[in-house]
Structure 1
Amino acid sequence: MRHSQTPLTPREEDAFKRIREVFDESDAASHRDALTEALAARMFEEDESEYLVEQLLSKGYLYAVHEEVRITGGLEL
Structure 2
Amino acid sequence: MEGNDNSRTPLSPSAREALDELAPVIEETDDHLSREEARSHLHQIDFDAEFARTTLDELLNKGYLYDVHGELRLP
Band the TM-score falls in, shorter-chain normalisation: 0.7 to 0.9
If asked which structure has higher relative contact order (CA below 8 Å, sep 6+), I would say 2
Question: If the length of structure 2 is used for normalisation, what is the TM-score?
Answer: 0.84
Supply the RMSD in Å over aligned alpha carbons.
Answer: 1.6
CA drift at 1:38: 0.5
Unaligned regions of 5+ residues in structure 2, if any? none
Paired position in structure 1 for 2:41: 38
Question: If the length of structure 1 is used for normalisation, what is the TM-score?
Answer: 0.82
CA drift at 1:65: 1.3
Structure in which a larger fraction of residues adopt helix: 2
Moved >2 Å (runs of 4+): none
Question: Identity rate of aligned residues, in percent?
Answer: 32
The count of aligned residue pairs is 71
